[in-house]
């Protein structure tokens, strides 16, 4: 009797939705064990996080405030991931968006709100998009590794903003703190009455709607999905892969840039050396956890916004906020592990002797899998079942 | 005066390059068996914090180093279980490892911020060789970890290109199906070298917190793990070239710091950008050449022995 793995030909729908939920639960459980081992009371920590994030009106609205940049960046990296373009540079693109929006604001401080805010938005979009194009061009034409180039540009963007707020843009009245003068009211994004939640939330929902329409209802979205499956096949079908790489990366960066604009215009109301506590990195997990589905990205962002706010809440008890990032990483681990179970079915089989793990339909084709069967008996759980005809 | 400056810059290049070198050697091990591990930054951070923690507790930097090795190895084991065992996407798993490591090190390191370094690795002049002009102070005026890295490079090169296990290892990264047919246990090989690679990344972290800095700061790797990943591509997966590359990066780093110290009109922020911009340029250059062909054939691909 042993365990056998079979590749699922068809993943049952409930499993697709159940898997992330169970994964998150298991990750929190593992986190609890870790907290317990390091001398913290997991019940207390989780309780504080939950109360901090969702237990009060203020906490809940703060969760939404933190969720907005996660939504925008998550949508951005999500669309890139669909094409297997690993844009890890949302953080830097966010900073460049914040920089460009601030530049517009500082250049036209007298501008009326109905012109200034859209101009800042446009600047944020363009700056984020162009910042993503820088690594996209060599990715498209030289096949450079975009993981590293997009990531390196994060450091460059953050240092650039640091330079500005420490140097030429520093507020003379700011007691030497690294921040720009506060924005005039006309440069503020409107907020929902009585909260700090700004219209960025609406923008994110609209962006998610547009993305899902584009992805599933347009020719271009179809191309993006096909290239994601196989760039080779897309090329044979006459699709321009290079142009799509540039377009998708621009769009991806533009969304992150918009997140940066929303942060400075909607939340901080100035540029400072730390615009983001790592939204661009968390967005990677958000997008993957949401299985790159735009609507699910919105929902997961709220959960992760809550995790961040909860992280700040536990600081009062002397527990570092880094615990939130640790949990985010752990959640992704469990989701990755859980995906295995959606792709493979584990079967307990009763079979005499070291039977080959080759399915009947594809057996006897003389493949290495078939000939190596006796050796595989001892570790049959490592092998999958060959799909017929593949 | 210029002579002394040259000596100090070259010496600093080696010091600044050593953590990158350790991490790059570790990444070469993993990538040679086909496992792309983008968790280097996270493994280095956890290595740095556990090394510092244990050194503070025990007073022995060697025990600290041991802790870094174990911590880096355990981190890599997570990546191995996910990407080798459960065939998860290697890019995503590696990114998760970096994010997790950043959070974990921040959590564990919180009480260590501002704690002065206890006994750490200090420069030890090699008798005889250390007295040579120029080369003496530059090459032989370092701490034990640097000397260990000197030994590691040729050892690894020899292992990779001149021994049977090295050949097996490369074949697993090149063509796992063929290696499997030859009777090599692909899964085990990948586990072993991924974990060994993580241990070296942990050592790179230990170098930062026990010799280079020596202290614990949140996110103290500052992208060095990523630079190491880029360097592996530039080095064509060859430990000898990785050595030269690491010192080149170290040199860029050291040069930036020197110029800053002299006090120029160029703001320090631009000098701090140098290693990152340099990394991008290096990737652009290596993308054009033949180096890309040197990549292990199965790099980044999960091995599913029953076909794909």
Average pLDDT of the segment spanning B220-248:
91
User: Residue A357: its pLDDT value, please?
Assistant: 47
pLDDT of residue A373 exceeding 80: no
User: Which one of B105, B218, B269 has the shortest CB-CB distance to A159?
Assistant: B269
> What percent of chain B clears pLDDT 90, i.e. is strictly above it?
55
> Do B103 and A322 count as a contact with CB atoms less than 8 A apart?
yes
CA dihedral B65, B69, B71, B74 (to 10 degrees): -170
Does A315 reach chain B within 8 Å, measured CB to CB? no
The angle, 0 to 180 degrees and rounded to 10, between the axes of the packed helices A322-343 and A294-314 is: 140
Integer Cα distance of B91 and B234 in angstroms: 19
Taking only residues 59 to 78 of chain A, the set having a beta carbon closer than 8 angstroms to any beta carbon of chain B reads: none
Rg (CA), chain B: 19
How many Å separate Cα A207 from the centre of its chain? 15
User: Residue B289: its pLDDT value, please?
Assistant: 63
| pLDDT, mean over chain A | 85
The nearest CA of chain A is from the CA of B285 a distance in Å of 9
User: Residue B290: its pLDDT value, please?
Assistant: 57
User: Residue A131: its pLDDT value, please?
Assistant: 97
Half-sphere exposure of A360 (CA within 13 A, CB side): 0
pLDDT of residue A14 exceeding 50: yes
User: Residue A368: its pLDDT value, please?
Assistant: 36
pLDDT of residue B185 exceeding 80: yes
User: Which one of B96, B180, B276 has the shortest CB-CB distance to A152?
Assistant: B276
User: Which one of B85, B100, B308 has the shortest CB-CB distance to A326?
Assistant: B100
Q: Write out the DSSP string of B151-190.
A: HHHHHHHHHHHHSHHHHHHHHHHH-HHHHHHTT--HHHHH
> Do B273 and A340 count as a contact with CB atoms less than 8 A apart?
no
Does A50 reach chain B within 8 Å, measured CB to CB? no
Specify whether the CB–CB gap between B87 and B197 falls below 8 A. Answer: no
User: Which one of B85, B178, B306 has the shortest CB-CB distance to A358?
Assistant: B306
CA dihedral B238, B241, B243, B245 (to 10 degrees): -120
pLDDT of residue A59 exceeding 60: yes
Give B152's pLDDT tier (boundaries 50, 70, 90): very high
**Range with the poorest average pLDDT among A284-298, A363-377, B115-129, B163-177:** A363-377
Residue owning tokens 């953080």: A91
Q: How crowded is residue A260: how many other Cβ atoms within 10 Å of its Cβ? A: 37
Winning range, highest mean pLDDT, from A11-15, B26-30, B300-304: B26-30
Average pLDDT of the segment spanning A183-209:
93
Give B291's pLDDT tier (boundaries 50, 70, 90): low
Contacts of B25 (CB under 8 A, 6+ apart): B149, B152, B153, B156, B200, B239, B242
User: Residue B23: its pLDDT value, please?
Assistant: 97
How distant, in Å, are the alpha carbons of A130, A136, A301, B14, B168 from that of A127?
A: 5, 14, 23, 37, 48
User: Residue B293: its pLDDT value, please?
Assistant: 61
Integer Cα distance of A274 and A272 in angstroms: 5
pLDDT of residue B41 exceeding 70: yes
Question: DSSP label at B82?
Answer: I
B6 or A281, higher pLDDT: A281
Q: From its phi and psi, is residue A366 left (phi > 0), alpha (psi between -120 and 50) or beta?
A: left
Contacts of A352 (CB under 8 A, 6+ apart): none
User: Residue B292: its pLDDT value, please?
Assistant: 59
Average pLDDT of the segment spanning B97-121:
88
Does A320 reach chain B within 8 Å, measured CB to CB? yes
**Range with the poorest average pLDDT among A201-205, A337-341, B213-217:** A337-341
**Range with the poorest average pLDDT among A161-175, A240-254, B99-113, B278-292:** B278-292
Specify whether the CB–CB gap between B37 and B27 falls below 8 A. Answer: yes
User: Residue B54: its pLDDT value, please?
Assistant: 95
The nearest CA of chain A is from the CA of B10 a distance in Å of 25
Integer Cα distance of B225 and B217 in angstroms: 15
Q: What is the ipTM of this complex?
A: 0.87
CA dihedral A358, A364, A368, A370 (to 10 degrees): 40
> Do A325 and B78 count as a contact with CB atoms less than 8 A apart?
no
> Do B284 and A160 count as a contact with CB atoms less than 8 A apart?
no
Best to test chain A binding among B267, B291, B306, B308 (most A CBs inside 10 Å): B306
pLDDT in tens, A213-263: 999 999 999 998 899 888 888 888 888 899 999 999 999 999 999 999 999
Which CB contacts under 8 angstroms, 24+ apart, belong to B61-67? B61/B119, B61/B120, B61/B121, B61/B210, B64/B206, B64/B210, B65/B145, B65/B203, B65/B206, B65/B210
> Do B305 and A148 count as a contact with CB atoms less than 8 A apart?
no
Specify whether the CB–CB gap between B41 and B168 falls below 8 A. Answer: no
pLDDT of residue B240 exceeding 80: yes
Q: Considering only CB atoms, which chain B residues are within 8 Å of A142?
A: 284, 287-288
> Do B99 and A368 count as a contact with CB atoms less than 8 A apart?
no
Average pLDDT of the segment spanning A273-301:
92
Integer Cα distance of B136 and B123 in angstroms: 12
**Range with the poorest average pLDDT among A147-161, A314-328, B37-51, B253-267:** B253-267
**Range with the poorest average pLDDT among A149-163, A336-350, B133-147, B186-200:** A336-350
> Do B95 and A284 count as a contact with CB atoms less than 8 A apart?
yes
Winning range, highest mean pLDDT, from A277-291, A342-356, B248-262: A277-291
The nearest CA of chain A is from the CA of B288 a distance in Å of 7
Integer Cα distance of A241 and A190 in angstroms: 39
Half-sphere exposure of B207 (CA within 13 A, CB side): 29
Average pLDDT of the segment spanning A258-270:
95
The nearest CA of chain A is from the CA of B154 a distance in Å of 27
Beta bridge partners of A6: A345
Q: Which two structure tokens, joined as six digits, stand for B225?
A: 């793990």
Integer Cα distance of A53 and B296 in angstroms: 46
- Burial class from Cβ neighbours inside 10 Å (0-12, 13-18, 19+) for residue A17 reads exposed
pLDDT of residue A354 exceeding 60: no
The nearest CA of chain B is from the CA of A326 a distance in Å of 4
Give the number of A-B residue pairs with CB atoms closer than 8 Å.
174
Secondary structure percentages of chain B, helix, strand, coil, to 5: 75, 0, 25
> Do A143 and B78 count as a contact with CB atoms less than 8 A apart?
no
Average pLDDT of the segment spanning B7-25:
92
> Do A326 and B229 count as a contact with CB atoms less than 8 A apart?
no
Contacts of A132 (CB under 8 A, 6+ apart): A87, A89, A93, A150, A249, A250, A252, A253, A254, A256
> Do B91 and A147 count as a contact with CB atoms less than 8 A apart?
yes
Average pLDDT of the segment spanning A366-375:
34
A14 or B77, higher pLDDT: B77
User: Residue A312: its pLDDT value, please?
Assistant: 87
Give A3's pLDDT tier (boundaries 50, 70, 90): low
Average pLDDT of the segment spanning B136-162:
90
Contacts of A2 (CB under 8 A, 6+ apart): A348, A349, A351, A380, A381
**Range with the poorest average pLDDT among A341-345, A356-360, B229-233:** A356-360
SS (H, E, C) chain A: CEEEEEECCCCCHHHHHHHHHHHHHHHHHHHHHHHHHCCCCHHHHHHHHHHHHHCCHHHHHHHHHHHHHHHHHHHHHHHHHHCCCCCCCHHHHHHHHHHHHHHHHHHCCCCCHHHHHHHHHHHHHHHHHHHHHHHHHHHHHHCCCHHHHHHHHHHHHHHHHHHHHHCCCCCCCCCCCCECCCCCHHHCCCECCCCCCECHHHHHHHHHHHHHHHHHHCHHHHHHHHHHHCHHHHHHCCCCHHHHHHHHHHHHHHHHHHHHHHHHHHHHCCCECCCCCCHHHHHHHHHHHCCCCHHHHHHHHHHHHHHHHHHHHHHHHCCCCHHHHHHHHHHHHHHHHHHHHHHEEEEEECCCCCCCCCCHHHCCCCCHHHHCHHHHHHHHHHCCCCCCCC
């Amino acid at each position: 009797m042993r365990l056998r793995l079979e590749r699922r030909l068809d993943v049952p729908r409930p499993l697709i939705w159940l898997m992330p939920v169970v994964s998150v639960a298991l990750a929190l459980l593992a986190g609890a064990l870790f907290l317990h081992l390091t001398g913290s009371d997991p019940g207390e920590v989780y309780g504080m996080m939950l109360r901090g994030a969702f237990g009060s009106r203020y906490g809940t609205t703060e969760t939404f405030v933190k969720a907005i940049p996660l939504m925008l960046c998550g949508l951005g990296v999500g669309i890139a991931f669909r094409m297997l373009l690993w844009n890890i540079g949302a953080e830097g693109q966010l900073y460049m968006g914040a920089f460009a929006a601030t530049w517009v604001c500082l250049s036209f401080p007298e501008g009326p709100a109905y012109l200034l805010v859209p101009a800042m938005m446009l600047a944020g979009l363009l700056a984020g998009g162009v910042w993503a194009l820088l690594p996209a061009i060599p990715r498209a034409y030289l096949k450079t590794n975009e993981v590293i180039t997009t990531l390196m540009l994060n450091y460059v963007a953050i240092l650039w903003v640091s330079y500005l707020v420490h140097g030429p843009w520093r507020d003379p009245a700011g007691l030497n703190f690294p921040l720009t003068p506060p924005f005039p009211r006309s440069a503020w994004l409107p907020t929902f009455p009585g909260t700090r939640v700004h219209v960025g939330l609406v923008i994110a929902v609209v962006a998610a709607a547009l993305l899902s329409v584009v992805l599933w209802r347009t020719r271009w979205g179809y191309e993006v999905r096909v290239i994601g499956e196989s760039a080779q096949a897309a090329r044979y079908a006459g699709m321009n892969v290079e142009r799509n790489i540039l377009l998708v990366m621009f769009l991806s960066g533009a969304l992150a840039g918009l997140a940066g604009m929303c942060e400075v215009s909607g939340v901080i109301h100035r540029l400072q050396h730390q615009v983001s506590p790592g939204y661009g990195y968390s967005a990677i997990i958000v997008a993957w956890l949401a299985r790159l589905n735009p609507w699910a990205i919105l929902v997961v962002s709220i959960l992760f916004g809550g995790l961040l706010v909860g992280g700040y809440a536990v600081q009062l008890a002397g527990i570092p906020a880094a615990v939130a990032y640790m949990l985010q990483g752990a959640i992704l681990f469990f989701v990755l592990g859980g995906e295995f179970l959606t792709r493979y079915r584990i079967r307990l089989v009763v079979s005499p002797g070291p039977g080959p793990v080759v399915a009947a339909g594809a057996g006897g084709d003389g493949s290495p899998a078939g000939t190596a069967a006796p050796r595989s008996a001892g570790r049959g759980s490592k092998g999958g079942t060959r799909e017929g005809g593949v | 005066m210029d002579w002394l400056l040259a000596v100090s810059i070259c010496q600093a290049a080696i010091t600044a390059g050593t953590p990158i070198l350790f991490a790059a050697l570790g990444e070469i091990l993993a990538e040679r068996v086909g496992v792309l591990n983008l968790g280097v930054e996270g493994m280095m951070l956890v290595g740095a914090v556990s090394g510092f923690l244990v050194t503070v507790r025990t007073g022995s930097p060697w025990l600290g180093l041991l802790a870094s090795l174990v911590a880096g190895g355990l981190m890599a084991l997570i990546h191995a279980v996910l990407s080798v065992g459960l065939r998860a996407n290697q890019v995503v798993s590696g990114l998760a490892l970096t994010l997790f490591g950043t959070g974990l090190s921040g959590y564990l390191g919180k009480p260590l911020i501002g704690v002065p370094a206890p006994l750490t690795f200090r420069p030890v002049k090699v008798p005889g060789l250390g007295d040579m002009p120029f080369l003496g102070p530059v090459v032989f005026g370092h701490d034990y970890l640097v000397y260990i890295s000197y030994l590691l490079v040729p050892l690894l090169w020899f292992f990779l290109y001149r021994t049977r296990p090295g050949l097996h290892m490369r074949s697993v990264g090149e063509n796992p199906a063929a290696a499997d047919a030859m009777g090599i246990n692909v899964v085990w090989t990948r586990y072993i070298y991924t974990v060994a690679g993580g241990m070296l990344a942990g050592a790179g972290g230990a170098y930062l917190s026990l010799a280079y800095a020596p202290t614990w700061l949140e996110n103290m790797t500052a992208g060095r793990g990523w630079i190491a990943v880029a360097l592996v591509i530039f080095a064509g997966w060859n430990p000898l070239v990785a050595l030269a590359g690491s010192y080149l990066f170290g040199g860029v780093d050291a040069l930036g710091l020197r110029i800053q110290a002299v006090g120029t009109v160029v703001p320090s922020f631009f000098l701090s950008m140098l290693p990152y911009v340099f990394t991008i340029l290096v990737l652009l250059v290596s993308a054009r050449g033949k180096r890309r062909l040197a990549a292990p054939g199965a790099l980044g691909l999960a091995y599913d022995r029953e076909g794909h």
